[in-house]
Structure 1
Amino acid sequence: MCTTLIITRGASKDGSMIVAHSDDDELGDQRIIYVPAQDHEQGAMRQVFEEHYRYPRLVTYERGPNYEPATHHVSQSPNPVPDLTGPIGYIPQVRHTYAYFDGNYGIMNEHNLMMGECTNGAKYQPAHVSAEEAEKNSKHIRLFYSQELSRVALERCNKAREAVELMGKLLDKYGYYSTGETLLVADEDEAWVFEMCALPDEQYHSAWVAQQVPDGEVFVAANEFRIRQIEDNRRDIICSELLKPGLKNLGWWNPEDGPLDWLSSVSNGEYNHPYYSLRRVWRVLDRVNPDLALSPWVTRGFKDVKDGSYAIDYPFSIKPKCPLTLQDVFALYRDHYEGTQFDLTRGVAAGPYGDPNRFVGPYDGNQNNVTENEHMYGAWERPISIFYQGYTYVNQLRPKTPEIPEASKGLCWFGPDVSYTTCFVPFAAQALELPERYQSGDPQVFDPKTAWWAFDFVSNWARLNYQRMTRVDILPLQQKIETEEVQKTILQWDECCRGKSDLEARDLLTRLGKENANEVVKQWHKLGHALIAKYSDGYCNLPENQEPQNIGYSSKWLALTNYKDGPTSYEMKP
């Protein structure tokens, strides 16, 4: 249930191409895994695995040592070492595959090809169909979901358009299953939005379309397809040959009605409830360019079938009012609608300490399933930074300049757990390994040695006194570290790589990346321990033997409670 962004070169302050993604997957596998480059024998077949998020997402000898069974001991899980993951099918392997960073979807490869992702509702969301099942039941094979599709693209491609074309060919041949999906794909020159879904037809089994984001503009998607009209002879749109005949055959589109609207043809629009998706799209676009004065409410409302979930109020992409910095992008992912009518830090639901988190319960309908209808008793606003974020990353491909060596040009800024309280650390895309702390950890079993648990602990502890802890303790350290890394650490990496051979530079970046990230985790552990003592028992315990301060509650919040009716006198009340 993710939010994903593209900031093109002309829209960023330093000319970087940026692809960002928050993986909002509750308690799924939160590790970032390094998959090494590999050589394969002629005629080898590549395994294709089923969509899976819970820890461990994958156990195999085919993707390097970090996915092998032995790696799961480091989490100290009481569960036995899991069996190898069984493939649902195979495709021909290529002779050489590139190294890449992997999460619940592919992230970035050694040639600086970058990916982002979000899940969307689709009218048809079938299970996978193996080759054996297809042959037995006279069905078309359905081998690919966006998880494996993104990984194949990173293994085989170094350009965005090449990746789009490869993913399209794979879907046309091997079929697609499960939810609708958006994958963002970018290199140093081009950025594309690739959207896909399954169709309930054995001949026209899968559909996909890709649209290029114009240079100088920003794109955002948040659990709803964002591509709309598909007109002929547009150079910025590529689509499957199965798309139009398939939708026509299903009766989902009639050519006589005009150009094909991708969103309204294959989807019911909003993923979960009104504004679950569109509010986040509005918020990013409005923060990026408030001069557009976009309304947070769609024009005709959701009851109008001509608009509703298919609102056209928000453009595909926009030019920012001012070019964005890397830290501007970090800030977008830390948003709870502060300062708007939807501000989640305010109101009785935020409690006495302005907590923006709203937990999902039995009255919230189907959070992850749009194929079933259920009465909704109400709904919370869906912010960009949400309590069930597993990790967020901001992939940055810096421009070609004499000052930036090729080896350190591509960076993955990775933040475990919730965006608002995490700290983004850089990993060079050409690094040859990642820190063990970031490649290990079961979110069901507390393990202080892992990066994710360091950040998850601080995020959860902050809810004892959210605004005070975040503003006074967490955010200042976060901003201090991130500022130093942007303004100092990366420049030092550049300097260290100058004059080095390719292998020397990659070895150096690997070591420096590990040292830096491990030091940040240590600081976050120290922060967590300090918060325990400082806010023990509802006090603010100050250092140097000062008297603890009573925090209590604000008068505004007390007025919302029965505090005024408490035992303030001995007089009997009527």
Structure 2
Amino acid sequence: MLIRLTKKMMISGILAILLACMLALPPVSACTIFAVTPGASDDGSMYVAHTNDGVGFDWRNYDDISLVYVPPADYAPGEMRPIAFDPNSGSDAAGNKADGSSEAILGYIEQVPHTYGYYTASYGMMNEHQLLSGECTDYAKIELSAEEGKRIFYSSELSNIALERCTTARGAIELVGELIETYGYYGTGETLIFADPKEAWVIEMCSSPEGTGGLWAAEKIPDGEVFVAGNEFRIRDIEPDNPDMLYATDLFRIAEDNTMWSPADGALDWLEATSYGEYSHPYYSLMRVWSIQDRLAPSFNLSPYVENSYTEAYPFTITPDEKINLTTAFSLYRDHYEGTEFDLTEGVAAGPFGNPYRYLGPDDAHTDFQNESFIEVRAGANPRPVSAVFCAYSYVAQARADLPDPVGGVLWFGPAVAYETVYAPIYAGAENVSVPYATGDREVYDPDAAYWTFDFVTNWAMLRYDAMIGDIQAKQSELESESIAAVRTTDTRAVELIQAGDEEGARQLLTNVTVTRGDEIIDEWHALTGMLVVKYSNGLITDPKTENIEESGYPAWWSQEADYQYGPRVYELDKLRETDGLNYTGQSIWVPKNASF
């Protein structure tokens, strides 16, 4: 079975489709994004990556974990495109929704004669012309509610429209900026990356204090560099004469009139003018930026510690010490800070078996924890890893200038948690995706849905993470290596078909490979799931081949921390428990039955 949307379906059900692409997660909604420019990759590829993370009130009656392919379409003069409210925006209402209205369309803009095919979910990802996009939410000082005819755009619709209408990164930036200024912006601060096979840009946006239009700034990522963001604006000084910077027409005037900035301050610092910085608590954002930059460029000797949210310790972009390949790009999302002093697989909180995931509490939630004068010091918070357990999906989108658009663009899509997922190849020229990737929601467990296929393994692994992660990584590496090899072979065959004038045949090939490979990965992961359930059931480790059973118990350090040494080792248990300072040694001895403790 294949999933694709026809133009008829698009027109008759556009509202449902748009809402199905939106993930609503106001209490904790946070993403990590990066872009690797061609000069920084080992084969000249452009990479744009995005983790779509979030939990909480998420409008679960809408699909929020599935992938949607929107095909190209033609429109007659005078047709209008509806702009849907995004419940993931942090906004209070959609039109009159706060008053009980069910209205979810905020307005309309004029449709264009032709739109491009693209892949989307909560946000646009990649279109048929190798235009790539990624998104993360940011903390802005001004976050206004949606209002029909006044503030109708949030980043999700902006990313989709850019992929529908644009073929270049700069063109996408210019279109998004124009839409924000013309139709208004609502909701949280946002960062979008747009990249084509040769050029990458970052655009950041927020509501305007004047209530109409919106504020935005954009900066080009220099070739040979890598950009990283994690829920905090990354653009700093706005340089009016810099051809690699663009910004809202009235940015300086609005900032000055509304005491956000004064010429006496010097350069307009976009981050300081529009935001207090980090998204949820100290190091919530900056620790992820530090981790990825430090992994790629250890020669920079970056410190994980900063003075405040406005630190300039982490540059806008970095030059990696070594060229980045696709496998390295995947690995950037598989990070619990292993090997650093923030390693989430270590310590009491990780339990006896190195579980890197933490239950979320009120101190982890996104609130306005700092302002101009004060910072809320909470009881505590867990470090926010790059690979978060509440991830809905992640992807690494790849564009290659030396290949035709249908072949050059590959969306490497991974359902559920990044650390334990498998990235499956989806070609820009493919017109369908595997059914498991296009179905499912968080309210109903469905073992056939790609999200639940992978999310189950992540949750099962928490029972004995230190052991199970080895099995998971072995299969993960095997499947991704097979996919990379399959893409190389398919590239050659598809290019030959296109050069022979058979583009339709090439698209059919790309579609078949996309769907078949997705099905194969899901089948393989189901088989892995069954093996893991059998091998690690009931606190035992059972070798499925030899049937040997290991009763491994707990590590010595955990036994010490858990007061194992005060357990039922002798009959005089009450006296044993009254003895202070006993250390667990892991040794067994023989003593007379009447020995005193």
TM-score normalised to structure 1 length: 0.88
Larger RCO (CA under 8 A, 6+ residues apart): 1
Write the mapping of 1:183-222 to structure 2, written as runs, cut at 5 A.
183-202=192-211, 205-222=213-230
Residue 511 of structure 2 corresponds to residue 503 of structure 1: no
**Secondary structure of the residue that 1:390 maps to in structure 2?**
strand
**Secondary structure of the residue that 1:294 maps to in structure 2?**
coil
Matching residue of 2:590: none
Matching residue of 1:480: 478
Write the mapping of 1:328-343 to structure 2, written as runs, cut at 5 A.
328-343=328-343
Residue 568 of structure 2 corresponds to residue 567 of structure 1: yes
Matching residue of 2:97: none
- Report Cα offsets for 1:379-402 as digits up to 9, x if no partner: 1111100100110100001231xx
User: Measured at CA, do residues 290 and 383 of structure 1 come closer, stay the same or move farther in structure 2, by a change above 3 Å?
Assistant: same
Choose which of 42, 50, 56 in structure 1 pairs with 2:85.
Answer: 50
**Secondary structure of the residue that 2:378 maps to in structure 1?**
coil
Letter in 1 for 2:48: V
| Cα contact 1:48–1:89 (8 A) shared by 2 | yes
**Secondary structure of the residue that 1:498 maps to in structure 2?**
helix
Matching residue of 1:454: 453
Matching residue of 1:551: 552
- Report Cα offsets for 1:382-428 as digits up to 9, x if no partner: 1100100110100001231xxx4543111000000001000001000
User: Measured at CA, do residues 245 and 386 of structure 1 come closer, stay the same or move farther in structure 2, by a change above 3 Å?
Assistant: same
Matching residue of 2:241: 233
CA distance in 2, matches of 1:160, 1:405: 17
How far does residue 442 in structure 1 lie from its aligned partner after superposition? 1.1
How far does residue 86 in structure 1 lie from its aligned partner after superposition? 3.4
Matching residue of 2:531: 530
Matching residue of 2:22: none
User: Measured at CA, do residues 246 and 233 of structure 1 come closer, stay the same or move farther in structure 2, by a change above 3 Å?
Assistant: same
Write the mapping of 1:85-124 to structure 2, written as runs, cut at 5 A.
86-124=104-142
Residue 162 of structure 2 corresponds to residue 153 of structure 1: yes
Matching residue of 1:129: 147
Structure ID, larger Rg: 2
Letter in 2 for 1:560: E
How far does residue 484 in structure 1 lie from its aligned partner after superposition? 1.8
CA distance in 2, matches of 1:177, 1:570: 68
How far does residue 288 in structure 1 lie from its aligned partner after superposition? 0.5
CA distance in 1, matches of 2:468, 2:303: 33
User: Measured at CA, do residues 34 and 53 of structure 1 come closer, stay the same or move farther in structure 2, by a change above 3 Å?
Assistant: farther
| Cα contact 1:3–1:21 (8 A) shared by 2 | yes
How far does residue 218 in structure 1 lie from its aligned partner after superposition? 0.4
How far does residue 558 in structure 1 lie from its aligned partner after superposition? 1.1
User: Measured at CA, do residues 237 and 545 of structure 1 come closer, stay the same or move farther in structure 2, by a change above 3 Å?
Assistant: closer
Letter in 1 for 2:349: A
CA distance in 2, matches of 1:177, 1:16: 34
CA distance in 2, matches of 1:513, 1:53: 29
| Cα contact 2:369–2:376 (8 A) shared by 1 | no
CA distance in 2, matches of 1:177, 1:371: 21
| Cα contact 1:359–1:387 (8 A) shared by 2 | no
CA distance in 2, matches of 1:167, 1:9: 24
How far does residue 206 in structure 1 lie from its aligned partner after superposition? 1.1
| Cα contact 1:172–1:242 (8 A) shared by 2 | no
CA distance in 1, matches of 2:290, 2:104: 41
Matching residue of 1:489: 486
How far does residue 498 in structure 1 lie from its aligned partner after superposition? 3.2
Write the mapping of 1:27-426 to structure 2, written as runs, cut at 5 A.
29-53=64-88, 86-131=104-149, 141-202=150-211, 205-298=213-306, 301=307, 308-362=308-362, 364=363, 366-367=365-366, 376-400=378-402, 404-426=403-425
Residue 19 of structure 2 corresponds to residue 19 of structure 1: no
User: Measured at CA, do residues 41 and 241 of structure 1 come closer, stay the same or move farther in structure 2, by a change above 3 Å?
Assistant: same
**Secondary structure of the residue that 1:309 maps to in structure 2?**
coil
- Report Cα offsets for 1:218-260 as digits up to 9, x if no partner: 0000000000000220011000112111111100100121110
Matching residue of 2:519: 518
Identity of aligned residues (%): 45
How far does residue 462 in structure 1 lie from its aligned partner after superposition? 0.4
- Report Cα offsets for 1:298-317 as digits up to 9, x if no partner: 1xx2xxxxxx2111111000
How far does residue 506 in structure 1 lie from its aligned partner after superposition? 0.8
User: Measured at CA, do residues 232 and 427 of structure 1 come closer, stay the same or move farther in structure 2, by a change above 3 Å?
Assistant: same
How far does residue 52 in structure 1 lie from its aligned partner after superposition? 2.9
CA distance in 1, matches of 2:380, 2:405: 52
Letter in 2 for 1:567: P
User: Measured at CA, do residues 336 and 544 of structure 1 come closer, stay the same or move farther in structure 2, by a change above 3 Å?
Assistant: closer
How far does residue 26 in structure 1 lie from its aligned partner after superposition? 2.9
- Report Cα offsets for 1:97-138 as digits up to 9, x if no partner: 11100010010000010001100000011110102xxxxxxx
Q: Which moved more, 1:229-238 or 1:494-503?
A: 494-503
Letter in 1 for 2:361: G
CA distance in 1, matches of 2:461, 2:103: 37
| RMSD, matched Cα | 1.8
**Secondary structure of the residue that 2:180 maps to in structure 1?**
helix
CA distance in 2, matches of 1:365, 1:493: 44
**Secondary structure of the residue that 2:401 maps to in structure 1?**
coil
User: Measured at CA, do residues 485 and 416 of structure 1 come closer, stay the same or move farther in structure 2, by a change above 3 Å?
Assistant: same
Letter in 1 for 2:421: T
Letter in 2 for 1:468: A
How far does residue 570 in structure 1 lie from its aligned partner after superposition? 2.0
How far does residue 495 in structure 1 lie from its aligned partner after superposition? 2.6
Matching residue of 2:431: 432
Letter in 2 for 1:536: S
TM-score normalised to structure 2 length: 0.85
User: Measured at CA, do residues 436 and 84 of structure 1 come closer, stay the same or move farther in structure 2, by a change above 3 Å?
Assistant: farther
| Cα contact 1:9–1:17 (8 A) shared by 2 | yes
How far does residue 551 in structure 1 lie from its aligned partner after superposition? 2.1
CA distance in 1, matches of 2:321, 2:401: 21
User: Measured at CA, do residues 217 and 545 of structure 1 come closer, stay the same or move farther in structure 2, by a change above 3 Å?
Assistant: closer
CA distance in 1, matches of 2:429, 2:252: 40
**Secondary structure of the residue that 2:186 maps to in structure 1?**
coil
Letter in 2 for 1:247: A
Letter in 1 for 2:233: F
How far does residue 366 in structure 1 lie from its aligned partner after superposition? 3.2
CA distance in 2, matches of 1:474, 1:368: 35
How far does residue 53 in structure 1 lie from its aligned partner after superposition? 4.9
| Cα contact 2:48–2:398 (8 A) shared by 1 | yes
Matching residue of 1:70: none
**Secondary structure of the residue that 1:467 maps to in structure 2?**
helix
**Secondary structure of the residue that 2:87 maps to in structure 1?**
coil
**Secondary structure of the residue that 1:274 maps to in structure 2?**
coil
